Chain A
Amino acid sequence: MNEQIEDKDLSRRQFLRMAARASAIATAAVMFPGIVFAEEQERMIEKLGAIDVKWTKTPCRFCGVGCGLKVGISDGKAVAVKGDPNSSVNKGLCCVKGYHSILALYGNDRLTKPLIRKNGKLVESTMEEALDLVASKLRNTIAESGKDSVSIYGSGQWTIPDGYVASKLFKGAIGTNNVEANARLCMASAVTGFLSSFGLDEPMGCYEDIDHADVFVLWGNNMAEMHPVLFSRILDNRLKRSVKIIDLATRTTRTSHAADKSILFNPQTDLAIANAICYEIVKNRWVNTSFVEKHCVLKEGKTNIGYGLEENFQFNDEAKSIDFETYETFLEDYSPEKVAAYSGVSAKDIKYLASLYGNPNNKVMSLWCMGPNQHTRGTWINNLIYNIHLLTGKISTPGNSPFSLTGQPSACGTVREVGTLTHKLPHGVVMNEKDREMAAEIWKVPVENIPSKPTHHTVSMFRALDRGDIRFMWIQVTNPMVTMPHLNRYRNGAKKDDRFIVVSDVYPTPTTDIADVVLPSAMWIEREGMYGNSERRTQHFNQLLQPPGEAMSDTWQLIEVARRLGFKEQFPWDESTHIEEIWKEYSRFHVGKKHGMAPYEVLKSQAGAQWPYVEGKETKWRYHGKYDPACKGDTFDFYGKPDGKAWIWARPYEPAPEIPDSDYPFWLCTGRVLEHWHTGSMTRRVPILHQAVPKSYVELNPEDAKRLDIRNGDQVKLISRRGEIVMDASVDQRGKPVSGHVFVPFFDESYLINELTLDAYCPISKQPDYKKCAVRIEKI
């Protein structure tokens, strides 16, 4: 693109000069055969390496690992990818999705024009008309049904500026806390886990812990497929300095085969196993007493807290201080022998796990993602893993790291740091008056505009849409009509007559199918933006490509609508510099040693920067004075809590809400595969990825399959209390569920497994559990 423009600008004078030089070289070559001039040599070398390709850094579009890529651009198109050797995240290595990520830009059915539903059909329109319609619908709905009848539902794939502008428009300018994002479905329990244990969100450690740890315990995390680049880093360490990998899971996967030991447990009993590990640590006097005395306090919360299945379910946890003796008594119920009886893990294995954590010479890294997070006791299991690290003092130092991984490129950067959740603000929460005042000042809105009460979390928001309390929803960069649990109910709700749904996306999806207005979005490197990955690293990318047709960035769509609503003062930015200006405004929320953000110029020049970014330096480990400038003193300081102490929680085992019985005898677990990302709207348009895993399937245990007379490839019907689906059986292929379990990947919009899943959620985090419900299997 740039080269074409330059070609046109080639002046006559330059042309003559080049022509003269070329003819001189040609003449000389005739006179002295065999001589090659330097310039011609250069040209030949350039011809050898494809030097017309310009390589530029960007974070990967897909998962939360946030690999650094170099994208090759030639003639205005992305033509190649390699790993960025300058990125400390992946050091030049990618996975198959990353290497082929640029192909996701070029699906033949890219949305290039806005669509408006007229007489029941989506018809092409202009951006002007579509944005006008969105603005007028917003205005009218607010006038008729109040501010809390409009909502925005975004995503962990929102760039930081997208989420910031969305929050500013809805919370600040319009004045409703109806702001949510799909990260509620994947990261909310990690957030509440961090907040309840440490008072501040996001990991204390970083990926470099992998190069220091001696033992890796993976809690319900098929890292070989879901975080392959980091898993390869672990394997690399094992080759070079013999580390141990323990796969603690409910299903045998590639990760189990690679691990030194695979331990399988019954769903939901991770709560009991974590407590049993703590029991052993206490019993064997492996507790780091001085650490616990100086840096920890013990708490208990409410029990029997429900599952959020009732309409208008409400829950607030309450923390009560307890002493160590009370905690020890609490642990009495979790001796390895007692836990072995219902967890399916032998007492020997539990003791082995405890000894790995308890051995003072081991540096231990625990890694987890959706297993503990998509869990009706998600907050609890996050707390319990932290307990193990706190009791042994294995935290906040290189290689000692409880590490919560993320699944989306900016679940941390946007949803958690900008705070695009109903209770959050870019700094703090809506319930706090000081936080509201700060937001009002930076946003230039009256402080009364920002309501002090949170409204709906995601499941509740879609229930409100179904009921009619919410009548307008703008959905950006996510595909809830594939991903909502108990999908039938929420799809029917969204389709009701007087609901108005706006969807910004890059391809047609089941969600654009139900939209009243579809806005074509500019994707990834077709616009400028930033993502924030799992290790607190903010990564900037330039606009490298022209978006197709009328496609427009989500940030700019929101700004256009905000201006139409009369908020010109709050959204004053120029199109050419708006990302820089938004970054500068947003950074004001995080000023200080605890969350300082790197300046725009730094982000532009290097492969990401980790916050807290203080006086030109990144912080790799938080809460330890040696590494974190926000700490008082030169040792541990958990400054997220007022007393500087981390909280060890007594959290019990409580069963799952729906357990297999004689009518529905199998556990259903859903998840991803390596080749596809989320609902597959991008990866399925990449030929090599689609051809590797062309459709979804149900994995069965070989013995169950034999008993039911089902062979690999046979069609089977899965039935839950909420829906049914017919799909191919996969027996003894990639993964092997335990007997009595089945596993289904959710990427395929032709097999909507979420019509079967249950919309029960963790009462504290409000994150649904996609890993556990009961189904029946019938052979067809």
Chain B
Amino acid sequence: MKGKAIIFFGILLMISAIVIFDLSIRQSNVSASVVTADVADVVPTTMLESEVFSLQDLAYEFKELESIGSEKTLADYYKNRAYDGAPPRIPHPLLNEKGIGGKSCLQCHSNGGYVDRFKAFAPITPHPDFLNCNQCHVPKKTNNLFVASDFKRSAPKHIGSGVLDGSPPPIPHDFQVRGSCLSCHGAPSAAKEIRVNHPERVNCLQCHAPTNNRQITWERKSTEEEGGME
């Protein structure tokens, strides 16, 4: 009996030694392997349609919060941007000037939530993969201008009107850097006018057709015709 047990343990030791040895060889193999895939094609920088389904885990939470959304309006939304589509300004003092992504901004802006200090829901970023937030979003330190600006923004888009009475409105913007529908249209931080009453239906493109994509295809074909101005 004793002898068998010793043999059994001996075999066990041998097996584990082989397994560990094998594992370590595999590990060292991994670190020595050469990545040959054409990584450039695998790593897109801006998000496109594929991001539509992000945040779907929060969809039912958004549904439950339906009645207590913020009072933010589209006017507030546009006030915080130089033009429709421009990155919004940071409307609050920065907690940390040095921070990058997960260490600062994303603490509040990845999943949202109510911030008592600002009496508002934190907007959820549609592009949490971009970590250098201050690359595009900057705070306001003064109301003064260096020199007045003659820049005129164009009128904001019309919203809410479907082609037929009651039909789902098409999407008036492209998906570049804002492919995650729920972050701007489902979360309680959304502007009232563009917040949907059915955030749980996460396959947004099933009913809402992109319109601007048409424009992109049309553009590519026409680049040759774009002559200079006379």
Contact A90 B86 (CB under 8 A): no
Contact B138 A692 (CB under 8 A): yes
Residues of chain B lying within 8 A (CB to CB) of residue A49: 157, 172-173, 211-212, 215
Query: Does A493 sit at the interface, judged by CB under 8 A?
Result: no
Query: Does A319 sit at the interface, judged by CB under 8 A?
Result: no
The chain A residue sitting closest to B44, CB to CB, is A91
Choose among A53, A103, A675 the residue that contacts B154 (Cβ–Cβ < 8 A): A53
Residues of chain B lying within 8 A (CB to CB) of residue A47: 158, 161
Contact A82 B85 (CB under 8 A): yes
Nearest CB on B from A401, distance (A): 13
Task: Report, as a range, how many residues of chain A touch the other chain.
Answer: 35 or more
The chain A residue sitting closest to B142, CB to CB, is A694
Shortest beta-carbon contacts, A-B, top 10: A92-B46, A91-B45, A692-B138, A228-B135, A108-B148, A106-B151, A258-B100, A48-B172, A684-B146, A543-B228
**Taking beta carbons and an 8 Å cutoff, which residues of A are in contact with B?**
1-2, 34, 36, 41, 44-45, 47-51, 53, 55-57, 72, 74-75, 77, 79-83, 85-86, 88, 90-96, 99-100, 102-103, 105-110, 208, 211-212, 214, 224, 228-229, 231-233, 235-237, 239-241, 252-254, 257-258, 361, 507, 528, 542-546, 576, 604-606, 674-675, 684-694, 733-736
Give the residues from 126 to 152 in chain B that come closer than 8 angstroms, CB to CB, to chain A. 129-132, 134-152
Query: Does B64 sit at the interface, judged by CB under 8 A?
Result: no
Contact B223 A57 (CB under 8 A): yes
| Given A80-B84, A685-B149, A692-B140, A212 contacting B32 (CB threshold 8 A) | no
| Given A228-B132, A258-B100, A687 contacting B145 (CB threshold 8 A) | yes
Q: Scoring B residues 53 to 88 as 1 if CB is less than 8 Å from chain A, else 0, what string do you get? A: 000000000000000000000000000001111110
Contact B132 A258 (CB under 8 A): yes
Residues of chain B lying within 8 A (CB to CB) of residue A214: 35
Contact A92 B45 (CB under 8 A): yes
Choose among B31, B99, B154, B216 the residue that contacts A80 (Cβ–Cβ < 8 A): B154
Contact B135 A77 (CB under 8 A): no
Choose among A55, A96, A105, A691 the residue that contacts B140 (Cβ–Cβ < 8 A): A691
Contact A96 B138 (CB under 8 A): yes
Query: Does B176 sit at the interface, judged by CB under 8 A?
Result: yes
Contact B154 A107 (CB under 8 A): no
Contact B224 A605 (CB under 8 A): yes
| Given A57-B223, A80-B85, A107-B150, A93 contacting B141 (CB threshold 8 A) | no
| Given A45-B211, A91-B44, A236-B129, A96 contacting B98 (CB threshold 8 A) | no
Residues of chain A lying within 8 A (CB to CB) of residue B39: 211-212, 237, 241
Interface centre among A88, A92, A675 (most CB of B within 10 A): A92
Contact A236 B177 (CB under 8 A): no
Query: Does B163 sit at the interface, judged by CB under 8 A?
Result: yes
CA distance A50 to B85 in the complex (A): 11
- Can you report 17 residue pairs joining A to B where beta carbons are below 8 Å apart? A1-B229, A36-B163, A50-B157, A55-B219, A103-B149, A103-B151, A231-B132, A232-B130, A232-B132, A235-B130, A253-B98, A546-B229, A576-B230, A674-B138, A688-B138, A734-B97, A734-B98
Q: Scoring B residues 176 to 212 as 1 if CB is less than 8 Å from chain A, else 0, what string do you get? A: 1100000000000000000000000000000000011
Residues of chain A lying within 8 A (CB to CB) of residue B48: 85
| Given A48-B172, A232-B135, A691 contacting B143 (CB threshold 8 A) | yes
CA distance A91 to B165 in the complex (A): 38
Residues of chain B lying within 8 A (CB to CB) of residue A507: 147
